Amino acid sequence: MIDYFKHGDVTGKPETTIGPMPVVSFDQQGTPSLLKPLTAFRWFIEYGGRYNTLWKNAATYVNPNAITIFHPGLCAKHIKAAVLMMIANDDEMEGANSTVSRMVFDKILSQKELIEMDGGHFGLLYYPGELFKTASKTQCNFLEKHLR
């Protein structure tokens, strides 16, 4: 698999490519999007839509036509950098699974820290707010510790 990602064609094919399409949408029936939860819509529209972010509500999802089924967790044991993994206790995002996230964390061999937070997938990103304050302080402390 490592050789495939270094030298293989990861661009995908038309049958393994979705999009471009909206990242989020308020109307999943009329205009489906890649991310379905209302919390995703609220966050991306509120924060992505701010002046000068240059964010565009469009993305393309490509599933490379790999020889084996790929999951990012398969790369965990190859990570060399220090890792801060923040997991939402009640993650509402489709496909998110805190049990899988913890299993991936356990496979990481480098220095690592695991923080579990309330507020769902986007909860810690709302500024200003207590979850944001806690998350950003945790991230700053981690970076100060590992970038010196």
Give residue-wise pLDDT tens across range 2-38: 777 777 777 778 888 889 999 999 999 999 999 999 9
Residue 68 lies in a domain: no
Could you tell me if 35 and 98 lie in one domain?
no
Which range among 9-23, 57-71, 126-140 has the greatest average pLDDT?
A: 126-140
Could you tell me if 118 and 58 lie in one domain?
no
Could you tell me if 84 and 111 lie in one domain?
yes
Q: Which residues of 103-142 are buried (b: 16+ CB within 10 A; e: fewer)?
A: ebbeebeeebeeeebebbbbbbbbeeeebeeebeebeeeb
Which residue is it, tokens 């919390």? 39
Could you tell me if 55 and 84 lie in one domain?
no
Give residue 121's domain range. 75-146
Could you tell me if 93 and 139 lie in one domain?
yes
- Report residue 68 as tokens: 């084996």
Could you tell me if 53 and 108 lie in one domain?
no
Q: Are strands 17-21 and 59-62 parallel, antiparallel or unpaired?
A: antiparallel
Residue 27 lies in a domain: yes
